[in-house]
C-alpha cells in the first residue's frame, strides 16, 4: 500500500535552533499534505495544509513564521520549526492525500521533537 515516510522519527535540539521535518509520499503524488501536532494524551490538531507549488494554509493560532512549510514537489513537504523553544516539544505527524485511492489520507510515522 501507499507509504508516507516521515523523517526524523525523533529529534532533540537546543532551544533557539531550527529543526526540519520531512514528509515524503513514496509511491504516489500528493498535491496536498497536512501537518498535525499531538500533545501527550491529546488528539491531533491540524496545524496547516500544504499545497504543492503554493503557500501553505495555516489554522488559526498557528504561527506561520515559526512553523515554516514548504511543499516544493509532489512527493515532499517539509515543516521547519524555527527558533524552537521547549513549548514546541511535541509529536508532529504529516499526512498525504492520494486522490487516486478514493481520497484516503496516509499518515507518516511521526516525529517526536524535544527542545531542551
Partner 1 sequence: AQKVTQAQTEISVVEKEDVTLDCVYETRDTTYYLFWYKQPPSGELVFLIRRNSFDEQNEISGRYSWNFQKSTSSFNFTITASQVVDSAVYFCALSEAGSGGYQKVTFGTGTKLQVIP
Residues at the contact surface with partner 1, assessed by CB under 8 A: 9, 34, 36, 41-46, 49, 91, 93, 95, 97, 99, 102-110, 112
With cell 503557500, the residue in question is 55
**Close Cβ partners of 102 (under 8 Å, ≥ 6 residues apart):** none
Sheet holding 19-25, edge to edge: 4-7, 19-25, 76-81, 67-73
> Rounded to the nearest whole angstrom, what is the least distance from the CB of residue 22 to partner 1 in the complex?
15
- The smaller minimum CB distance to partner 1, of residues 5 and 80, is found at 5
Closer residue to partner 1 in complex, CB, 60/87: 60
Amino acid at each position: 500500500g501507499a507509504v508516507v515516510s516521515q523523517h526524523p522519527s525523533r529529534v532533540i535540539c537546543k532551544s533557539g535552533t531550527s529543526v526540519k521535518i520531512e514528509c515524503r509520499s513514496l509511491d504516489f503524488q500528493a498535491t496536498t499534505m497536512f501537518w498535525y501536532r499531538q500533545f501527550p494524551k491529546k488528539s491531533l490538531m491540524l496545524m496547516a495544509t500544504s499545497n504543492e507549488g503554493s503557500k501553505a494554509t495555516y489554522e488559526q493560532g498557528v504561527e506561520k513564521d515559526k512553523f515554516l512549510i514548504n511543499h516544493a514537489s509532489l512527493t515532499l513537504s517539509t515543516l521547519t520549526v524555527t527558533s524552537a523553544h521547549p513549548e514546541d516539544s511535541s509529536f508532529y505527524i504529516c499526512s498525504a492525500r492520494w486522490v487516486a485511492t478514493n481520497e484516503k489520507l496516509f499518515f507518516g510515522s511521526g516525529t517526536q521533537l524535544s527542545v531542551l
